[in-house]
Amino acid sequence: MTARARRRLAAPTLVVLLTSLLAALGGAPAPAVGWAGSADPPSTMWGDTVLVSPNRAHRETSLALSPTDPNLLFICDPSGVPNTTYNQSYFHRSTNGGKNWAYLDVEGPNTDPRNYAYEGGDCDVAFDAGGTMYSADTWLGSLSVGHSTDGGNTWTGTSLAATSPIVDRPWLVGGPAGTIHVSYQDLQCCMPSAMWYTRSTDYGQTFLPAVPITAAGPEGAYTWEGNFAVSPNGQDLYLVYTRRMTNNLTNGLDQSGPESVWVAASHNAGLTWESKLVARMPNPASYLYPSIAMDKGGFLHVVFASRTDEDRPIWYAFSKDQANTWTAPLAIRRGESGYSPWVAGGDAGEAAITWYGSQVPMASMSDSVPWHFFWAKVSGADAGMPTLSSGTTTTTPMFTGVSGIPEFEMIQLDSEGRMHIGMSAYRRQGVTTTWAIWYQREILPLVKGSGSVPGEGLGASSFALDVEQDEAGAIAGSLSFADPDAGVTIEALSFDGFSIQKVTGALTCTITGQAEVTRDGLTGTEPFMASCRDGGTSGDSFSFSSASYTGGGALTGGDVAAG
């Protein structure tokens, strides 16, 4: 995470001084460690949950953020295969930073062979470094992959991206412009299965023959394939998975016996793979998929869910040596129930984690309890003194009652280090309870904007602002205002106050400080207060007030982005 993200760790819910967590790097797993203490609740602020879709939804939500357009986000959920109604899984796009979402058809005209595959099985979404969008969607014969170079307006693709006959649970990772990495598994629920890797360097039009990653072995024949991470140069790839000895069709997840967590690593661009043990757990570690992330230092973070006799924690492990050795798994929170974890890598030694769960210790899908989405941030793992903060993304539960368990949620970090979550959860609609897709993002203490607003009189004025607060509380940035008709120009000299508040459907900001105010050629220094609004039914606004001038209001051009 960036410095902006690290500031959110200043007052954690749980501060973890894992002095021995990294002791095992280069050797055997470190001994289990516990929490060193606790502190006041963190200052992390979350925006309102956004309902992506109340009905075109299921229990496996993938989320991708455009690296070139911060307003473009992409989500998918399986629709059920074969889907003869939509011919695809449920895909949704936001073009305004997640505030609103619309269903998206990712298949092209009649010449697109995917129109005749009737997908709807497992899906995934991704962007490459150039901003090209990619969709993956399974059908009864193979894997379809599509791409769009114009933000999702038009699509082309292939229905034969895989070379093995049975395709389950595909994952996508974008590379340089035109490159998309793909992993998938044979039918993982009910047969000794293998996992495969392939890639395309021509925007998903053709794919290399698939290479086996791992298959049945002495540690177990049945596996759950988690996601994978790829180094920036494309040479190092890491896929996390679990092994179990029993077929999950005849045993529920709680009864599938001890399981082990593994990472398969390739250091030659996916040509060959070798698996390394992360942990052996006395109980199942498949609720449902494990997840892996690579941070900007090349270090690896793994999370998975596995119950104990008293609770159902989410577990975290870290590797500093290319997956060869791993720290002993650490329970992120105790006395609660966690499922469906996901992890995203930030700066070196940093990661963000999300999961679905309940504050009831042994809650299962047969229990009527409150359910939340949880978040956690790890910082400093690379230095051997990691800290961790965690909490819920909402104060009230997302759902209360007997809840299905999502197979996974996804968390992503943007260029500012801000957390974004794509989520599956039950939602009541009258007397019916169905799956719904939700989106939520972290609110950081920063605001940017520029545009036109009313001036002091009848004329128009203009403004520009870029203000943020760091983890130590220092406020920095710029703020300017000009009202030509009034002969006024204003430039902020210093800031002494900055806050962001949540209101219904919007964010507001308040900024105070000292400004240089020039009016009709006379210049003086005055205290000021500026206020802004981002979103809501009344739209964006910006206002400025000092001892000698007041102006602003609803924007007539431009925009404000808070948080």
Q: Is 0.85 topped by the overall pTM?
A: yes
Length of the chain: 563
Quick check: 412 pLDDT over 50?
Answer: yes
Least confident of 160-164, 239-243, 304-308, 393-397: 160-164
Quick check: 431 pLDDT over 90?
Answer: no
pLDDT score of 57: 94
Secondary element (H or E) of residue 3: helix 3-6
User: pLDDT band for position 165 (50/70/90)?
Assistant: low
Quick check: 249 pLDDT over 80?
Answer: no
Q: Cα 561 vs. chain centroid, distance in angstroms?
A: 20
Residue 473 vs residue 165, higher pLDDT: 473
pLDDT score of 251: 54
pLDDT score of 16: 38
Of the candidates 332, 398, 321, 317, the one whose C-alpha atom is nearest the C-alpha of residue 46 is: 398
User: pLDDT band for position 194 (50/70/90)?
Assistant: confident
Decide if 408 contacts 419 (C-beta within 8 A).
Answer: no
Quick check: 75 pLDDT over 60?
Answer: yes
pLDDT score of 252: 61
Quick check: 19 pLDDT over 50?
Answer: no
Q: How far apart are CA 59 and CA 73, in angstroms?
A: 19
Quick check: 39 pLDDT over 70?
Answer: no
Quick check: 2 pLDDT over 80?
Answer: no
Average pLDDT value over all residues in the chain: 88
Q: Cα 160 vs. chain centroid, distance in angstroms?
A: 28
User: pLDDT band for position 8 (50/70/90)?
Assistant: very low
User: pLDDT band for position 365 (50/70/90)?
Assistant: confident
The tens digit of pLDDT for each residue in 269-308 reads 999 999 999 999 999 898 889 999 999 999 999 999 999 9
> Quick one: DSSP state of residue 210?
P
Q: How far apart are CA 210 and CA 196, in angstroms?
A: 6
Q: How far apart are CA 141 and CA 121, in angstroms?
A: 11
pLDDT score of 253: 65
Tell me the average pLDDT across 315-320.
Answer: 95
Quick check: 466 pLDDT over 50?
Answer: yes
Q: How far apart are CA 135 and CA 77, in angstroms?
A: 11
Quick check: 400 pLDDT over 90?
Answer: yes
pLDDT score of 166: 78
Decide if 123 contacts 89 (C-beta within 8 A).
Answer: yes
SS3 for 115? helix
Residue with tokens 């959860």: 425
Beta bridge mates, 379: 387
Q: Which of 181-185, 190-194, 281-285 has the highest mean pLDDT?
A: 181-185
Least confident of 29-38, 55-64, 276-285, 361-370: 29-38
Secondary element (H or E) of residue 497: strand 488-503
Least confident of 86-90, 208-212, 242-246: 242-246
Decide if 25 contacts 320 (C-beta within 8 A).
Answer: yes
Quick check: 212 pLDDT over 70?
Answer: yes
Beta bridge mates, 500: 509
Q: How far apart are CA 126 and CA 227, in angstroms?
A: 12
Contacts of 422 (CB under 8 A, 6+ apart): 52, 61, 62, 63, 75, 409, 410, 412, 437, 438, 439
Quick check: 191 pLDDT over 90?
Answer: no
